[in-house]
Amino acid sequence: EAQVTQNPRYLITVTGKKLTVTCSQNMNHEYMSWYRQDPGLGLRQIYYSMNVEVTDKGDVPEGYKVSRKEKRNFPLILESPSPNQTSLYFCASSPDRYWNTEAFFGQGTRLTVV
């Protein structure tokens, strides 16, 4: 089954404790992206990747890092989480550069930073 898998689904952590949210897709897509979803703000892009070792900042990259060492994986790293990073996070992938075929989204990771 074609899917994007995120882990964990739920996470509560403390301020400053480094964490990684994993994202893996089994469709051999070149293009991947991370979003955060906040009430009233919709989904805002954090980082995106066009291929292995090729990443770029989205609209809200501060406080986040990503890596793309393998085509299937695109982890999101919070080196020193803060309460304003409490949010619902989605990873997405697409087979095409302009994302004009269907984008595939993970189930989401609900992060709470206390």
Enumerate binding residues for another protein (CB under 8 A). Answer: 4, 31, 33, 35, 40-45, 48, 50, 56, 58, 90, 92, 94, 97-100, 102-103, 105-108
Least separation in angstroms between residue 72's CB and another protein is: 17
Least separation in angstroms between residue 78's CB and another protein is: 20
Say how far apart CA 1 and CA 40 lie, in whole Å. Answer: 33
What are the backbone dihedrals phi and psi of residue 85, each rounded to the nearest 5 degrees, phi first? -95, 5
Residue closer to another protein, measured from CB, 27 or 41? 41
Residue closer to another protein, measured from CB, 80 or 108? 108
Least separation in angstroms between residue 75's CB and another protein is: 17
C-alpha neighbours within 13 Å on the C-beta side of residue 95 = 7
The two three-digit tokens of residue 50, written as one number? 């066009």
Give first-to-last CA distance, the chain, whole Å. Answer: 36
